[in-house]
Amino acid sequence: MSVFTDEYRARGQEMSDASDTLLADAEIANDPQKLATAILGKGSANLYFRLADVVDYLESSSRQGAADDRLTRIRERNDQIRLAAAKGAASGDWSAFNRVAFGVGDEEGGGGD
């Protein structure tokens, strides 16, 4: 949950509690202003709760999008490693595999005289 979600839910709860207090008044039937205020308060509380749900949904969607991107990168790298391993096994040249799998350059590992 985010700060926005928590804030919207808290405001919704405050509105709902205030409306409940007004609705509990025995004289509310005789006071149209109190009745209207209580009804508007309940509607506003409901709006805040729904807004919090929307924020939750949008944040979870963005997290899911980031997770999907990460999985795509992992799959692409795994495909590169698999292809480089197949080529290395077929040709005996493992430099492409070493570069992809381990980030090692194409040097052959010699003395450099």
Instruction: Write the CB contacts of 42 (distance below 8 Å, at least 6 apart in sequence).
Output: 15, 16, 19
Residue 18 within a domain: yes
Residue 66 burial (CB count, 10 A)? 10
Residue 108 within a domain: no
Residue 111 within a domain: no
Domain that holds residue 23: 3-102
How much is the pLDDT for 110? 41
How much is the pLDDT for 62? 73
Give the count of domains, the chain. 1
Q: For the segment 29-57, what is each residue's pLDDT rounded down to a tens digit? A: 888 998 899 999 999 999 999 999 998 88
First-to-last C-alpha distance (Å) of the chain: 61
> CA-CA distance, 14 to 22, in Å (whole number)?
13
Q: For the segment 58-111, what is each residue's pLDDT rounded down to a tens digit? A: 888 777 777 778 878 888 888 888 898 898 888 988 888 888 888 876 555 443
- The answer on pLDDT for 113 being more than 50 is no
Residue 110 within a domain: no
Residue 13 within a domain: yes
Cβ burial of 72 (10 Å; 0-12, 13-18, 19+) is: exposed
